[in-house]
Amino acid sequence: MSRWGTGALGRVVRSGVGRRRVQLVVIVVSTMMAVASAVVAGSLMVAVNAPFDRAFAQQNGAHLTAQFDPRKTSAAQLAATEQLDEVTASAGPYPTTTVEPIGEGGGHLPSLTVVGRAEPGGTVDKLELKSGRWAQKPGEIVLSSSFKGPMLTLGSTLKSSDAKDAVTLTVVGFALSASETADAWVTPAQAGTLAPKGQPATQQMLYRFEQADTSGQITAARKQIAAAVPSGALLGSQSYLDTKQAAEQGAAATVPFLMAFGVLGIVMSVIIVGSVVSGAVGTGLRRIGILKAIGFTPREVVRAYVAQALIPAGAGIALGVVLGNVLAVPLLANTEQAYGTVSLTVAWWVNLVVPAAALLVVGVAALVPALRAGRLRTVEAIAVGRAPRTGRGQWAHRAAGRLPLPRAVTYGLASPFAHPVRTFALLLAVVFGTVTATFAVGLTQSLNAVGSAADPEERAAVTAIAGGGRGGGPAGPGREPGTVGREQKPAGREQPAGREQQPAGQAPAPASADPAKVAAAIEAQSGTASYYGLYEEEVRVTGASGAVRATFYQGDTGSGSYEMISGRWFEGPGEAVVPTRFFERTGTSIGDTVRVTLGKDTQTLRIVGEVFDTSDDGMHLRADMATFAAAKPQMFQIDVESGVDAVEYAEQLAAKIAPLGGHAVAQEPAEAEAMIILLDAMAVLLTLMLVSVASLGVLNSVVLDTRERVHDLGVCKALGMSPRQTVSLVLASVAGIGVIGGLVGVPAGFALHGYVLPVMGDSAGTNLPPSVLEVYDAVQLSLLGLAGIAIAMLGAMLPAGWAARTRTATALRTE
């Protein structure tokens, strides 16, 4: 049998484990919470660490997605490209086309790159079917899982275009392609029928290369492919590196946050588990003396005491792993949704490493005092009856005794100095608990500030659409009425390769109303508080490669202004504001001028401010509409007067401008971004867990202290100390630690917030505005300062009550 499972030693261990139930519960619960926190934090850190790479590897993603002209190359020629030196695997050719679908409500959906694939698997780009099934016959379509939402569910239908003979497609599944090779998939035969008349579907080939770490390697391989097919056959391609960059931009932002929580959780777990276990062993000295007196060897004593710590800690660790997995699953599901990666589970090695590390910590924490116990002289242990008094802290009692406070309080205030190591561990627990609370409060406020700062157009109550856009802007085909201003796809995702064949702006523009007449209707409508017009289009900016998205404003932008990071909002024609990344990409700064070309009109604009805007990969210029004569409002954002019902207002306005060709809708209340909800949830969960662990650490320390001092407390009670004074003594013994914990923890949490937030912003490619960074106020910081005391008091309340209730005669008999 085991070394301590049977016989005298086994009985000693079992009775030792069961004897002190409070301590048993504290060890089990604190190790459970600590391990659960570590599992949650660790698994999330793993999940967000290169999620694209993991998904890409799991799916054997395509390094290059290439589109070929079927009129210039044959399927055999395309298949032969697999034999090229650089190519290690390929899939295709798949017929590909682009559709401009119409939703069930009749609104335009974002254009879709549709690929005909008979099955989701294959050697390259093995798609993960997230829900439903694969398309098996004409009339069925599988959408990218990024489209899944209230408007598009399994069974939803959409038309391939607004033409009379458009094909009706039923959504039968949602799938994920890490390489983003398409927005939707149908049967190969169906893909051919979706292609515009007279234009055969292009052919998509998916490639994996021997060397694909750099864009140079991808470009070289692409050249090899282009050379292997007839000239002009290769219409376009998309490198996975571009997709990766876009995909990781969002994920990277959360890494510093999770790192901060992960480190806090792990450090606190080590402190608490270590102090709980060493304290448990340290207070059993009398029993150790008795064991040795009846013949236990020092080695057996060590083994018994290590086992007594390991048994409850082992149970706590096992429960912690289970709890951590249970808690991590919904968070990982949110992470998966936010990142659009393949199914995430707690990494197997997290479930091994965390408990192994916890066992190691517990083992070491138990071994040190157990070795001390083993070396302890029998007579000394029995005579002392409890941890020997070291004489430490007497100076503190002298000093505290001079304070103008009740004696019970001053006696309690000096108590922690008798056990400096335990007090330090307790202080660390309170400090880390306070840091966590401070950081989490600031982080949550910052995230909410980010949510409020994003998409200021959504703050308007009503949107009136005049139409006339060309570039899929706010009024373009990419939007559905009722969802104006809201992205249909996760931020940062690039257009699939197939979209390259259909440059933005080529979609047929809907009928447009005269903006001036729409503006007049808005002006005339009762209940209008203010409004401004928007025109969104792609422009060329000297110094920036490719097109840059630009929005031009007319009128009182008011609530539509973006948060300023620095500088100011534009005040008239010739001025512009841009996001952080614009400065980085163009090498400009506030005060510089840039030449901006809209159509054939080129103007020089002075950059007057840096705005907090992460849309369009941070390359979005905003300026006064009067800068360009050709710019006319496509839509108007309207604020209604207080008390005016936005829906009624929108209906009345819509009735007036519909004959003009316009439309008006009330804005739906903005929903928080999935990422913000995820981070909020994680912050709350991890904070609660870590604060609980901190309180348990305090509880354990105070239980140990109270046990050690129960005889002294009995003496004090015999001398006339009332139960209330006893409670105040015990609470005072942690009050000082709470105060110091708060004084240290709040600035540390404040500093951590100040460090992590800019790093998060940097990862997302933007500086952050003061509204996001400066979220604490003096009152809040003062209240957070009380968190240290609250944590300490919370942990001490139970043993304080126990000390007060203990019968004096019993306490006096206790040794």
Partner 1 sequence: MTHVAETTPMTPVIQLSGVAKRYDSAGAPALGPIDLGVAKGEALAVTGPSGSGKSTLLNLVAGLDKPTEGAVTVAGERIDRQSEHALARFRRAHIGMVFQFFNLLDDLTVADNIQLPAQLTGTARRTAADRAGELMELLGIARHARAYPGRLSGGERQRVAVARALVNRPALLLADEPTGALDTASGQDVRELLVDLHRGGQTIVLVTHDLALAEACASRTIHLVDGHVALDSAAQAVR
Give the binding site for partner 1 (CB under 8 A): 389, 391, 393-394, 397-398, 401, 406-408, 411, 414, 418, 711-712, 715-725, 804, 807-809, 812
Radius of gyration, alpha carbons of the chain: 34
Query: Closest approach of Cβ 37 to partner 1, in Å?
Result: 36
Query: Closest approach of Cβ 318 to partner 1, in Å?
Result: 41
CA 25 to chain centroid, in Å, comes to: 33
Q: For residue 632, with 0-12 CB atoms within 10 Å meaning exposed, 13-18 middle and 19 or more buried, which class applies?
A: middle
Q: Which of 137, 146, 65 has its CA nearest to residue 109?
A: 146
Q: How many Cβ atoms sit within 10 Å of the Cβ of residue 87? A: 20
CB 167 within 8 A of CB 157: no
Q: Which of 59, 179, 247, 770 has its CA nearest to residue 498?
A: 179
3-state secondary structure of 770: helix
Report the residue number, 133 or 805, with the smaller CB distance to partner 1: 805
With residue 184 as reference, give the H or E element that holds it. Answer: strand 184-186
**DSSP structural state of residue 499:** G
Report the residue number, 382 or 682, with the smaller CB distance to partner 1: 382
Report the residue number, 681 or 809, with the smaller CB distance to partner 1: 809
Query: Closest approach of Cβ 22 to partner 1, in Å?
Result: 21
DSSP string of 431-494, one letter each residue: HHHHHHHHHHHHHHHHHHHHHHHS-GGGGSSEEEE----SSS-TTSTT--TT-TT--SS-TTPP
Each residue of 637-655: b (16+ CB within 10 Å) or e?
Answer: bbbbeeebebeebbebbbe
Cis ω for the linkage preceding 93 (within 30 of 0) = yes
| Strand pairing class (202-209; 87-99) | antiparallel
3-state secondary structure of 629: coil
Report the residue number, 394 or 602, with the smaller CB distance to partner 1: 394
DSSP string of 224-254, one letter each residue: HHHHHS-TT-EEEEEEHHHHHHHHHHHHHHH
Query: Closest approach of Cβ 389 to partner 1, in Å?
Result: 5
Report the residue number, 421 or 516, with the smaller CB distance to partner 1: 421
Query: Closest approach of Cβ 812 to partner 1, in Å?
Result: 7
Query: Closest approach of Cβ 725 to partner 1, in Å?
Result: 7
Report the residue number, 614 or 725, with the smaller CB distance to partner 1: 725
Report the residue number, 11 or 392, with the smaller CB distance to partner 1: 392
Report the residue number, 402 or 600, with the smaller CB distance to partner 1: 402
3-state secondary structure of 661: coil
Rounded to the nearest 5 degrees, what angle is found at the Cα of 300, between the Cα atoms of 298 and 8? 130
Report the residue number, 364 or 405, with the smaller CB distance to partner 1: 405
Q: Which of 562, 493, 156, 127 has its CA nearest to residue 338?
A: 493
Query: Closest approach of Cβ 614 to partner 1, in Å?
Result: 60
Query: Closest approach of Cβ 680 to partner 1, in Å?
Result: 46
Rounded CA separation 20/400 (Å): 32
Report the residue number, 397 or 632, with the smaller CB distance to partner 1: 397
CB 490 within 8 A of CB 250: yes
Report the residue number, 508 or 720, with the smaller CB distance to partner 1: 720
Query: Closest approach of Cβ 349 to partner 1, in Å?
Result: 49
Query: Closest approach of Cβ 415 to partner 1, in Å?
Result: 8
Q: How many Cβ atoms sit within 10 Å of the Cβ of residue 575? A: 20
Report the residue number, 384 or 529, with the smaller CB distance to partner 1: 384
**DSSP structural state of residue 502:** S
C-alpha pair distances (Å), 787 with each of 415, 696, 739: 21, 15, 9
Query: Closest approach of Cβ 423 to partner 1, in Å?
Result: 14
Query: Closest approach of Cβ 722 to partner 1, in Å?
Result: 4
Report the residue number, 470 or 709, with the smaller CB distance to partner 1: 709
Query: Closest approach of Cβ 270 to partner 1, in Å?
Result: 30
Q: Which residues contact 371 (CB under 8 A, 6 or more apart)?
A: 302
Report the residue number, 52 or 411, with the smaller CB distance to partner 1: 411
Query: Closest approach of Cβ 802 to partner 1, in Å?
Result: 13
Rounded CA separation 430/778 (Å): 21
Which residues face 116 on adjacent strands? Answer: 186
Rounded CA separation 495/616 (Å): 12
Q: Which of 217, 204, 243 has its CA nearest to residue 81?
A: 204
Rounded to the nearest 5 degrees, what angle is found at the Cα of 776, between the Cα atoms of 770 and 779? 140
Query: Closest approach of Cβ 408 to partner 1, in Å?
Result: 7
Rounded CA separation 703/698 (Å): 8
Query: Closest approach of Cβ 285 to partner 1, in Å?
Result: 16
Rounded CA separation 318/694 (Å): 20
> Residue 342 is which amino acid?
V
Report the residue number, 412 or 579, with the smaller CB distance to partner 1: 412
**DSSP structural state of residue 5:** T
Rounded CA separation 394/420 (Å): 12
Structure tokens that stand for 224 in this block = 């090899």
Report the residue number, 38 or 800, with the smaller CB distance to partner 1: 800
Query: Closest approach of Cβ 708 to partner 1, in Å?
Result: 12
Site of tokens 């705005």 = 611
C-alpha pair distances (Å), 406 with each of 249, 328, 682, 728: 58, 48, 43, 9
Report the residue number, 42 or 412, with the smaller CB distance to partner 1: 412
